[in-house]
Structure 1
Amino acid sequence: MPLSSKTVISNIEKLPGLFTKADLHKSLQTRREEKKSTRKPPARRKQSSALTSKDLTVIENTMHAMILAGFLTKEKNKFRRNSLEIEGTITVNESRDTVIKYNEQEILIKRDDLGSAQRGDQVTARIFEFRRGFFCAEVRKVHRRKKEFHIARITGRSGSIATLRLLDVPGEIESCANIKKISVAKDDYAVITLTGNYLAGKSESVIQEVFSGENEDYDFIRIKNRHSLPEDHTVIGDTGINITMPESELKVRKDYTKLFTVTIDGDTAKDFDDAISIKTSGRNTKIYVHIADVSAFVKPGSPLDIEAFERGTSFYLGNRVIPMLPETLSNDLCSLREGVPRLTLTAEMNFDSKGNLEKFEAFRGIIKVNKRLTYTRADQLITGKGLGQLTRTVQQMYRFARILGQKRRDDGRLDLNLTDVEVIYEKSHVKEIRFATRLKSHMLIEEFMLSANEAVSRELKEKEIPSLYRVHEPMSPDNIESLKKFLTVLGLKIDPALPLGRSVQDILYRVQGKPYEQVVNLVVLKSMMSAYYGIEPLGHFGLGFLDYTHFTSPIRRYPDLIVHRCLKSLIDKKEPAYTVAQLIQIGEKSSAMERVAQKAERDMVKMKSCRIMKNRVGEVFDVVISGVSKYGMYVSIIEMPIEGMIPLRNISDDYYVLQEDDFTIVGRKYNRRYRLGDRIKARLSLVDIDLLRIDFELYSGPGKK
């Protein structure tokens, strides 16, 4: 029987720190002889202890891999064994393997070798095998757990012992807990802590809190735990918050309190961080974008600032919010409430009649909002016939917002028609998930905020002030080719004579109203690079801007607060607020936390989707194929923004495979085809809230051959 890499590594570990290849060969032969002597060989076959060519190949491959990974060091004709233990964080890669990243390699951890370690834990592990191009290791010690608490479902009970299955961890992990003094039922959910001990042959846990399966408070706890989101604010009182502003601060501010000013926000909003005003003079228009001056209250390096840096953003989970800043600030001191004097950083922008920016200035300001409007009320004013100042002002704002929007489209902005998801609640219970209605008032605010972000970015760049920028790089060549192939299947073509952004926008216009409109918009979105925060003003491809930053939401985004401080250093003619090294660190952290927030918010929508659909299993829906993979077809219900999958293994009329070139699932025998963008009927077959999973099965298809 040939040697295994496990045997080679085990023998290397037993050799002296410095050894030769001959030493290793001898050790392996000795081991083979010892094993041979402990059992009787078959009578007909005489076994040799000599190493075969296959053995030597295993030895060479294993040692070579160990050298590359740093577990061995070659010193002339000898080898020095380094530590076979590694320290790192348990993660899950794209293939859903549990790994530790070490020296730019992924070290695999099999389920049986994890012990009690979970994703995110910092551990020590020892490598013991090399196979299929990867080292395998077993966890020896957990140094620090990422999560103090875990979420589990109670799967059974025997007397005073409950069995639980942990959720949101790699593999199938069970635990046991003593429930002698706790009232629980099968399929309840629990918040638990792992003790590190064992009970009834399983990892022991202590139940901290129990939720019934119908209690939707559990959804918030689950998602918060799943993504390790922050707890309630602990930084309160006078640790970094200036409750009152000194007279010297008020004296340097420009007084906008006599300027007619409005806010336009959602019905339930409390953190009003932007307000707008407008003036016209002949063919010129002046826009004022007033942004809450959070930097006047949150001082750099204060406990509150450090906490905001760690959070990076506010997390919007259904009808609940985990704010970046304490509510003392976000909903009160910084919130631009109607009729209350508030401190701002105000961008003044002068435009010509075609929407070209002619002059930009920024000031520390103080405002008093005249009217707090909801998007719905502002939309009514836009389409109304009133003659009052409020109606005239809002209509004037909307007319100019249309000019700005048209200019941006002419400049190459991509207007993706991807409707937001709106989750409707009734007494804290999800009632409906629907496509959000985009109003004219939404467009108004969007255009004004984009103008401010662009103008601030350009000013900081031209004055060479170190700052953070919102960067969205152009599509990669590979993504462009993939997009071209997809569009070709639909009979569409990117015009090489036009700039890429403008050509793609032309295609988006052409598919409006077509059955595959949403899919085309989605594929274009997926073809684009992810935006991030960086120190180089590389522009924003999707918006068609050469200059762009985030300035308008400092209550809920940490990068905006940083940009405020950078802009203030320019206004005050002082040294830059940050070094390049500091900005790089802030940008990387903020980008990472933004991705966490996006994943958490998507998962909350998935949970609510599961709750909406759980009593509709067996119903048939009109769906559109929104994605294809080797595992199945992703489908979206046409009448509501709920997605699921049709696994290929569940399609029984043929053996289906992915045909990547034309984004099609094809049956090998009958050549039946299902293509990205096809509308079909599908029956809801499975809703699993534990896995956040919704499955469908084919009801009928286009039957193309």
Structure 2
Amino acid sequence: AVAAVPGLDANLLLQDRVAQQIKDYRETRGALTLQTIESRPVFDNDQISALEIEEKNRARDLIENFMIAANGVTARFLAEHNFPSLRRVVRSPKRWGRIVEIAAEHGTTLPSEPDSRALENFLVNQKSVDPQHFPDLSLTIIKLLGAGEYSAELPEGNLPGHFGLAVKDYGHSTAPNRRFPDLITQRLLKAALRSEPVPYDVETLDKLAAHCTEQEDAANKVERQVGKSAAALFLQSHIGEQFDAFITGAADKGTWVRLLAYPVEGKLVQGFQGVDVGHRIRVRLDSVDVDRGFIDFSRVY
């Protein structure tokens, strides 16, 4: 297909080379190297026969690097034109202390205060020395980094930026067909390009930022619910079996584990005392509820 379009192969190779240069530059600034496992159910008639892992490839890497670059350029363009913007913010992790502990368990000393460059160096090293378990480590770090949010940024503002990407100026702009914050940014961008008035006042932009964050959280919950129901359906024939797992969440609302054998996460309903994010344990599958997406485990000592 590529050969059928004259010059397309050379163009793609050029894009790939530039994308890798962008990636290398971001990593030198402290952008985090993370590798998570995403899965989709494989159906055999009305039964799920497997949970297939979706592999990240070079083409997806190319697109992601260009999108990140475009999002940064758009945010800076609006600031340079004295326009407000809707920023994507990931604050310094509140649980940095636990990240420091995890690094120490792997023989690395991190600073006592959040430092994305130091964390990136640790991640790159771990990916090299233990690539098999790097996705598990990545998921643990992502959980400890905390969720992102949308915030209104005024010209000359001072929002904290995006810790994981190690950028100060960042907003979502490349997918207005599926994400409302991107549509807001596109409207701001068009107004700036046409020298038109700002289409949103500060109060409206603040409300939109809060609304977008809430709706993103709601959408993520639905997506997780569907994934959990699929996983519960897949695991219902494995009740009573034991698995190796690691802790992905530990809070007042519950403790969560992810299996090493399958890309499945569930709640640890017994034996959760004294464990924290990143700890490896042995669990037994106690029950599943497909309709509600519940997967319950107990710890095996």
Whether TM-score is above 0.5 comes out as yes
The DSSP-based 3-state class of the residue aligned with 1:391 is: helix
Tell me, yes or no, if structure 1 residue 693 matches structure 2 residue 294.
Answer: yes
Match of 2:166 in 1: 544
Tell me, yes or no, if structure 1 residue 582 matches structure 2 residue 198.
Answer: no
- Tell me how far apart the structure 1 counterparts of residues 272 and 247 of structure 2 sit (CA, whole Å): 15
Alpha-carbon deviation of 1:433? 1.8
- Tell me how far apart the structure 2 counterparts of residues 426 and 687 of structure 1 sit (CA, whole Å): 20
Alpha-carbon deviation of 1:690? 4.1
The 8 Å contact of residues 116 and 163 in structure 2, kept in 1 or not, is answered as yes
- Tell me how far apart the structure 1 counterparts of residues 272 and 63 of structure 2 sit (CA, whole Å): 46
Match of 1:535 in 2: 152
The 8 Å contact of residues 610 and 689 in structure 1, kept in 2 or not, is answered as yes
- Tell me how far apart the structure 1 counterparts of residues 148 and 252 of structure 2 sit (CA, whole Å): 28
Residues 80-128 of structure 1, C-alpha deviations (whole Å, 9 max, x = no match):
xxxxxxxxxxxxxxxxxxxxxxxxxxxxxxxxxxxxxxxxxxxxxxxxx
The 8 Å contact of residues 629 and 658 in structure 1, kept in 2 or not, is answered as no
Pick the aligned partner of 2:115 from 490, 500, 506.
Answer: 500
Residues 47-69 of structure 1, C-alpha deviations (whole Å, 9 max, x = no match):
xxxxxxxxxxxxxxxxxxxxxxx
The 8 Å contact of residues 643 and 694 in structure 1, kept in 2 or not, is answered as yes
Alpha-carbon deviation of 1:489? 4.3
* TM-score, scaled to structure 1: 0.38
Q: What is the identity percentage for the equivalent residue pairs of Structure 1 and Structure 2? A: 27
Pick the aligned partner of 1:601 from 200, 203, 223.
Answer: 223
The DSSP-based 3-state class of the residue aligned with 2:163 is: coil
- Tell me how far apart the structure 2 counterparts of residues 618 and 430 of structure 1 sit (CA, whole Å): 19
Pick the aligned partner of 1:395 from 13, 18, 32.
Answer: 13
- Tell me how far apart the structure 2 counterparts of residues 547 and 577 of structure 1 sit (CA, whole Å): 20
Pick the aligned partner of 1:480 from 78, 81, 96.
Answer: 96
Within 5 Å, give how 1:10-89 maps onto structure 2: none
Alpha-carbon deviation of 1:602? 0.5
Check 1:388–1:424 CA distance in 2 against 1; reply closer, same or farther (3 A cut): farther
The DSSP-based 3-state class of the residue aligned with 1:511 is: helix
* TM-score, scaled to structure 2: 0.85
Larger proportion of helix = 2
The 8 Å contact of residues 287 and 296 in structure 2, kept in 1 or not, is answered as yes
Within 5 Å, give how 1:115-514 maps onto structure 2: 388-425=6-43, 430-476=48-94, 479-495=95-111, 500-512=115-127, 513=130
Residues 26-74 of structure 1, C-alpha deviations (whole Å, 9 max, x = no match):
xxxxxxxxxxxxxxxxxxxxxxxxxxxxxxxxxxxxxxxxxxxxxxxxx
- Tell me how far apart the structure 1 counterparts of residues 145 and 252 of structure 2 sit (CA, whole Å): 22
Match of 2:233 in 1: 611
- Tell me how far apart the structure 2 counterparts of residues 454 and 560 of structure 1 sit (CA, whole Å): 13
- Tell me how far apart the structure 2 counterparts of residues 619 and 533 of structure 1 sit (CA, whole Å): 42
Alpha-carbon deviation of 1:581? 1.2
- Tell me how far apart the structure 2 counterparts of residues 571 and 481 of structure 1 sit (CA, whole Å): 44
Check 1:625–1:576 CA distance in 2 against 1; reply closer, same or farther (3 A cut): closer
Alpha-carbon deviation of 1:434? 2.6
The 8 Å contact of residues 229 and 292 in structure 2, kept in 1 or not, is answered as no
Alpha-carbon deviation of 1:416? 1.6
Larger proportion of strand = 1
Alpha-carbon deviation of 1:632? 8.1
- Tell me how far apart the structure 1 counterparts of residues 124 and 96 of structure 2 sit (CA, whole Å): 19
The DSSP-based 3-state class of the residue aligned with 1:523 is: helix
- Tell me how far apart the structure 2 counterparts of residues 584 and 540 of structure 1 sit (CA, whole Å): 18
Alpha-carbon deviation of 1:421? 2.5
Match of 1:369 in 2: none
Q: Which runs of 5+ in 2 are unaligned?
A: none
- Tell me how far apart the structure 2 counterparts of residues 631 and 573 of structure 1 sit (CA, whole Å): 49
Residues 586-641 of structure 1, C-alpha deviations (whole Å, 9 max, x = no match):
11111110000011100110011111111222344443444556898643222321
CA RMSD of aligned residues (A): 3.0
The 8 Å contact of residues 423 and 432 in structure 1, kept in 2 or not, is answered as yes
Alpha-carbon deviation of 1:520? 3.2
- Tell me how far apart the structure 1 counterparts of residues 195 and 45 of structure 2 sit (CA, whole Å): 52
Give the letter for the 1:687 counterpart. Answer: V
Count of aligned residue pairs for this structure pair: 294
- Tell me how far apart the structure 2 counterparts of residues 467 and 632 of structure 1 sit (CA, whole Å): 36
Q: Which runs of 5+ in 1 are unaligned?
A: 1-376, 649-655, 664-674
- Tell me how far apart the structure 1 counterparts of residues 254 and 172 of structure 2 sit (CA, whole Å): 38
Alpha-carbon deviation of 1:487? 3.5
The DSSP-based 3-state class of the residue aligned with 1:421 is: strand
Check 1:495–1:515 CA distance in 2 against 1; reply closer, same or farther (3 A cut): farther
- Tell me how far apart the structure 1 counterparts of residues 219 and 291 of structure 2 sit (CA, whole Å): 20
Q: Which has the larger radius of gyration?
A: 1
Check 1:696–1:554 CA distance in 2 against 1; reply closer, same or farther (3 A cut): same
- Tell me how far apart the structure 2 counterparts of residues 396 and 688 of structure 1 sit (CA, whole Å): 50
Give the letter for the 1:420 counterpart. Answer: E
- Tell me how far apart the structure 2 counterparts of residues 411 and 685 of structure 1 sit (CA, whole Å): 45
Residues 673-704 of structure 1, C-alpha deviations (whole Å, 9 max, x = no match):
xx944264x443322224422233556x6xxx
Check 1:473–1:632 CA distance in 2 against 1; reply closer, same or farther (3 A cut): closer
